[in-house]
Amino acid sequence: MNQSNLNLLKSQIDIDNLPKHIAIIMDGNGRWAKKRFMPRTFGHQEGMKRVVDIVEASTILGIEHLTLYAFSTENWKRPNTEIDGLMKILVTYIRNELDRIIENNVRIHILGDIAPFPQIVRDEIEKAIGETKNNNGMDLNIALNYGGRAEIIKGIKDILKDFELGRINLEDIDDQLFSQYLYTKGQPDPDLLIRPSGELRLSNFLLYQVAYTEFWYSDILWPDFYEDKLYEAILDYQKRDRRFGGI
Ligand code: FPP
């Protein structure tokens, strides 16, 4: 899309009705690479470039929370070469982008348990978290070794520990309190969930948080997901009538 059409599209967005929290299942990297007779990791590399574009576009637009599904608890089933490739891409992303992320006042959070990741990857992630922790612009949540069910089970265990220690009473437990035991603690639920690549499933992503989230699907593969697609998704979201179970 050329710049003037992009600007036209962007100008239609109602800035007063932006989704506060956008979550994205970045799918289709493998198929994108396959179409080009290239290894899957090539698709992930191109996918990383779209992460850069979408993070930048979201910041400029004023999105407050952006959550990206980068590695699920099920992704360990992939061949080692692909897992290694994804780890390297993560490190490259942080090394290349951290300065710009800091400049843009973005705060990085990780959703998931990165303990099984290689030390070098964890060091880079910890550095990014540390250096952005006082930023108060957009929250960039990167879901790594994340699974919705694992997150809920962890929440239940943590809440039981606090109950045993007498920190909370049984009557205190409601959906708001439980939300504070999830990785997205302190952040609102996603308003909009985007899934490119034509798949129509949740894939264990933010199971608790998406109760009233608006979904937006597209056949486009993630490496082709430029900022115009983000604007299209937001424009579509702005046409929805959100009733949260009311009338
Ligand atoms: C799903 O596509 C994509 C992933 C499992 C990895 C997503 C990772 C990136 C976009 C890399 C960069 C991320 C960050 C945060 C820097 P797939 O491989 O399942 O595609 P397929 O369904 O076509 O096989």
Answer yes or no: is pLDDT of 10 > 90: yes
Phi and psi for 114 in degrees, rounded to 5?
Answer: -90, 5
For ligand 1, say whether the CB of 19 is within 6 Å of any of its atoms.
Answer: no
What sign does the CA torsion over 178, 180, 183, 186 have? positive
Ligand 1: atom nearest CA of 43 is 18
Ligand 1 within 6 A of 70 CB?
A: yes
- From ligand 1's centre to the CA of 65, what distance in Å? 20
C-alpha dihedral over 145, 93, 84, 206, to 10 degrees?
20
Rounded Cα distance between 65 and 52, Å, is: 15
Can you tell me the mean pLDDT for 47-64? 98
pTM above 0.95, yes or no: yes
User: What is the model's pLDDT at position 1?
Assistant: 87
3-state secondary structure of 221: coil
- The rounded distance, in Å, linking the Cα atoms of 180 and 75 is 26
CA distance 207 to 210: 6
Average pLDDT of span 100-126: 98
Q: Is the pLDDT of residue 192 over 90?
A: yes
- Stretch 13-27: mean pLDDT: 98
Answer for the pair 155, 178: CB distance below 8 angstroms, yes or no.
yes
- Minimal CA–CA distance to 52: which of 122, 120, 106, 110? 106
Q: How sure is the predictor about 17, in pLDDT bands with cuts at 50, 70 and 90? A: very high
pLDDT band at 8 (very low <50, low <70, confident <90, very high): very high
What's the rounded mean pLDDT across residues 202-230? 98
Whether ligand 1 lies within 6 angstroms of the CB of 110 is answered as no
- Mean of the per-residue pLDDT values for the chain? 97
Q: Residue 242's pLDDT is what?
A: 85
Q: At what angle do helices 40-61 and 80-103 cross, to 10 degrees?
A: 20
pLDDT bracket for residue 97 (50, 70, 90): very high
pLDDT tens digit sequence for 133-158: 999 999 999 999 999 999 999 999 99
**Sequence-distant (≥ 6) Cβ neighbours of residue 160 within 8 angstroms:** none
Q: Which of 29, 49, 204, 220 to mutate to test the pocket of ligand 1 (most atoms within 8 A of CB)?
A: 29
The stretch 48-62 carries a mean pLDDT of 98
Alpha helices (H) in 104-180, listed in sequence order: 119-132, 148-164, 175-179
- The single residue of 75, 158, 162, 204 carrying the catalytic annotation is 75
Residue of 2, 17, 27, 84 marked catalytic: 27
pLDDT of res. 58: 98
Tokens of 4: 């003037």
Q: Is residue 94 very low, low, confident or very high in pLDDT (cuts 50, 70, 90)?
A: very high
Which among 137, 138, 109, 102 is positioned nearest to 125, based on CA atoms?
Answer: 109
Q: What is the maximum alpha-carbon separation in the chain?
A: 60
Angle between helices 80-103 and 119-132 (to 10 degrees): 20
